[in-house]
Amino acid sequence: MKAAVYYETGTPDVFRYEDVPDPVPNASEMLIKVEAISIEGGDTLNRLGGAMTSVPHIVGYQSAGTVIDVGPDVEGYEVGDRVVSVGIDGSHAELRVASPSFSWTIPDGLSTLEAACVPVPFGTADGCLFQFGHLVEGETALIHAGAGGVGIAAIQLAKRAGARVLATASSDDRLERLKDFGLDEGINYVTNDFVVEARRLTDGKGVDVIVDSVGGATLQASLHALAYRGRCVSVGNAGRSLPERIDVSSLGGGNQTLSAYSLALDLFLSEKPHAIIAGHLASIAEGGLRVVIDQQFALANAAEAHAYIESRKAFGRVVLVP
């Protein structure tokens, strides 16, 4: 099969488009013919400096396609089924081995291309907002990096839950586009201090729930935008800044909390997120939620696609097609 591989981590130009051996599923796995690959934020971070499980390495969490082989112990899936799957790596390829525990049947009415963009961003957004953020109707949510995959998913889910939704983005144009997905108030973090703006927009109260996928100095500042009993959920490090020691001394004065969420761990250790993601796939198929695909690139052009993501020009997901 063909795959986008690299022999060392680094900038997008480490990618090589090469022939590699076909993966072989074990008795409890499926073999998927990949038809769409959603590039996740973690994919770019892993390519930049993450662990390599093999050399050459095939990066990538999430892809969708058609089942072409099933192990004898696999239940619930057959050859010919359309599925979306997640895993530690291996998405940037024409073929991928997948576990049924980390796969979902694609509902009728939902394209394979759209389905490839659902589990990680929508599962992450749901976990941050509701399992850890405990967001309820009438509260205010602040979503950082609102124009990203997790951001657009979180805006829709928070609005559907009856929350007032604020979000940050790097331009007024992006913020204007987010209003179609449920954004009530946007904050341009390039021209404004988001803490000052969040407090101004809430009449000084602060925000009940913050989803912070940026990390670093942004995460530290997020704590100062919380309302009384506010909850900040950290998920990832999209800002690519060096890890910082976070001063949590301000939390005690407002009975506030800071927590961290990992969808990967949740999928490994709990059955709950699998059902939640299946529900989001169904909602998207029915038109209740939306996936935004900014651009498609050929798998052979993975380097160009990763560079485009790192330019911070994307609005929604960037997809590779083998």
Domain boundaries, the chain: 2-117+291-321, 121-263
Q: pLDDT tens-digit profile of 246-300?
A: 899 999 999 999 999 999 999 989 889 999 999 999 999 999 999 999 999 999 9
With helix as H, strand as E and coil as C, how does the chain read? CEEEEECCCCCHHHCEEEECCCCCCCCCCEEEEEEEEECCHHHHHHHHHCCCCCCCECCCCEEEEEEEEECCCCCCCCCCCEEEEECCCCCCECEEEECHHHEEECCCCCCHHHHCCCHHHHHHHHHHHHHHCCCCCCCEEEECCCCCHHHHHHHHHHHHCCCEEEEEECCHHHHHHHHHHCCCEEEECCCCCHHHHHHHHCCCCCEEEEEECCCHHHHHHHHHHEEEEEEEEECCCCCCCCCCCCCCCCHHHHCCEEEECCHHHHHHHCCHHHHHHHHHHHHHHHCCCCCCEEEEEEHHHHHHHHHHHHCCCCCCEEEEEC
- Would the pLDDT of 237 be above 80? no
Count Cβ atoms within 10 A of the Cβ of residue 73 and give its class: 0-12 exposed, 13-18 middle, 19 or more buried: exposed
CATH number, domain 2-117+291-321: 3.90.180.10
Q: pLDDT tens-digit profile of 138-185?
A: 999 999 999 999 999 999 999 999 999 999 999 999 999 999 999 999
Average pLDDT score over the chain: 95
CATH fold, domain 121-263, is Rossmann fold (3.40.50)
Q: Does the CA dihedral 294-320-290-199 come out positive or negative?
A: negative
- Would the pLDDT of 239 be above 80? no
With helix as H, strand as E and coil as C, how does 30-53 read? EEEEEEEEECCHHHHHHHHHCCCC
Query: Given this model, what pLDDT does residue 214 score?
Result: 92
Same CATH topology for 2-117+291-321 and 121-263: the answer is no
Task: Give the separation between CA 78 and CA 210, rounded to whole angstroms.
Answer: 41
